[in-house]
Amino acid sequence: MVKRPVAPLVLLASSMVLASCDTTPPAISTLMNQVAQATRDSSADELRACYAREGVTQTQIDEHVGGWEEYFDKGEHWTYSGITYVSLADAPNNKSILPEMIAMAQGTTISGMKVAPNLKVLGFILVSFKQPDGAQAGATEDVGIASDGTAKLALVESHR
């Protein structure tokens, strides 16, 4: 009787089950690929294309993209290391998503000023960066579906 290793079959079955558990909507997966490519390319222009334009100005998008400049600056030595999606439903259980971010993603009032996203937020994408010395940082972005049916990064802005 020939004994066959069982471990490879168990690993294959486990990886197939985990792959089938990915609950990232396809449109958001496409957006994540676009954001990942923009960060790999250190391209503010590619990143701008990932933002929803509904209800915001080009200046607001430019200001938000400006927050990524540190990661794009070659002198800072940040390199893209990964991207993940967290649904709005799962966000309260994720230590990377602050309660304030969840509140702002749903619209809230802070010091008498209404703060709301320009799209209905479905969740968040977390973009990770690292430095050669092991330091890590990242950006957390609200994500929703734009009027054209594509997933886009949402901007949370104050409304008077």
Q: What is the pLDDT of residues 84-108, one digit of tens each?
A: 999 999 999 999 999 999 998 998 8
Instruction: Kindly tell me if the per-residue pLDDT of 17 is higher than 50.
Output: no
| DSSP one-letter string for 42-86 | T-HHHHHTTB--TT--HHHHHHHHHTTHHHH-GGGT-EEEEEEEE
Q: Are 31 and 49 in contact (CB under 8 A)?
A: no
User: In this predicted structure, which of 2-6, 32-36, 141-145, 149-153 has the lowest mean pLDDT?
Assistant: 2-6
Query: In this structure, what token pair is assigned to residue 3?
Result: 């004994």
Instruction: Kindly tell me if the per-residue pLDDT of 76 is higher than 90.
Output: no
- The tens digit of pLDDT for each residue in 31-54 reads 999 999 999 999 999 999 999 999
DSSP classification of residue 13: H
SS3 at position 36:
helix
Residue type, 56: V
Residue type, 30: T
Question: Per-residue confidence at 7, pLDDT binned at 50, 70, 90?
Answer: very low
Domain residue ranges in the chain: 24-159
pLDDT recorded at residue 15: 40
User: In this predicted structure, which of 16-20, 53-57, 143-147 has the lowest mean pLDDT?
Assistant: 16-20
pLDDT recorded at residue 21: 57
pTM of the model: 0.81
Nearest Cα residue to 24 out of 33, 14, 37:
33
- Residue whose pair of structure tokens reads 């250190």 in the numeric block: 42
CATH value of 24-159 in 2.30.29, 3.10.450, 3.10.150, 3.40.630? 3.10.450
pLDDT recorded at residue 156: 85
- Average pLDDT score over residue span 99-126: 90
d(CA 140, CA 88): 13
